[in-house]
A and B are shown apart, each in its own frame.
Chain A
Amino acid sequence: AQSVAQPEDQVNVAEGNPLTVKCTYSVSGNPYLFWYVQYPNRGLQFLLKYITGDNLVKGSYGFEAEFNKSQTSFHLKKPSALVSDSALYFCAVRPPDGSGNTGKLIFGQGTTLQVKP
């Protein structure tokens, strides 16, 4: 079965320190990978995506993510965390099923990022 796992329910980091939010996936073929962020009482917002090419992709608000095919991972990173980065982060994958419907994402369970001053 195709799935996405975010092994940490919560990540705590001090402001100014680097942060990593982990994501692993189980999908056959070459998937499209995404990170979305949800601020309190808001809908999800797109952060970044990996389709093909460079394994390190850069996105909004200084975030980046590294695709590692051998480890089937797509961890979200930021060199220096801000208090305003505190939110719920979702990893998602679109299987390369050839159906042409590109919005049928499989989401992970989400990781709450808490950045403390």
Chain B
Amino acid sequence: NAGVTQTPKFQVLKTGQSMTLQCAQDMNHNSMYWYRQDPGMGLRLIYYSASEGTTDKGEVPNGYNVSRLNKREFSLRLESAAPSQTSVYFCASLSGTSRGEKLFFGSGTQLSVL
């Protein structure tokens, strides 16, 4: 049981380049999330998908797009990368309902934009 799998683990981009971060979960969870982690700022929600076919903005959506390809996969796209997007990106999926919920995280993608 792999849990939440993210690719790639590391990426270096030049300003203006585009890329897609891939995420897949094998736990049959309905909801999936993309967070970014920056030093001293904790994790901030970029986008989320409450269920297959739906996506919504989180706290910091500017410069990103997402696709919920199917129940398993939720990708994050940077159309024109900027240095401010240098960060560690985590995908997560949610198990359970309100009383039993918890997030399962992938191992992260470290992105540097030069």
Contact = CB atoms under 8 A, between A and B. Distances in A.
Main secondary structure of the interface of B (DSSP, over half): strand
Interface stretch (B13-21, B65-73, B75-83, B99-107): B99-107
A44 interface: yes
Interface in A99-113: 100-105, 107-110
Interface in B12-58: 31, 33, 35, 40-45, 48, 50, 56, 58
Contact of B40 (A49, A90, A109): A109
A43 B101 contact: no
Contacts of A36: 103
A104 B106 CA distance: 16
B42 A101 contact: no
A109 B42 contact: yes
Contacts of B41: 109
A95 to B, nearest CB: 12
A28 interface: no
B42 A90 contact: yes
A103 B103 contact: yes
B48 A103 contact: yes
B107 A41 contact: yes
21 contacts: A32-B98, A43-B4, A43-B107, A45-B105, A46-B104, A51-B99, A90-B42, A90-B43, A100-B50, A101-B31, A101-B48, A102-B94, A102-B97, A105-B43, A105-B45, A107-B43, A107-B44, A108-B42, A109-B40, A109-B41, A110-B42
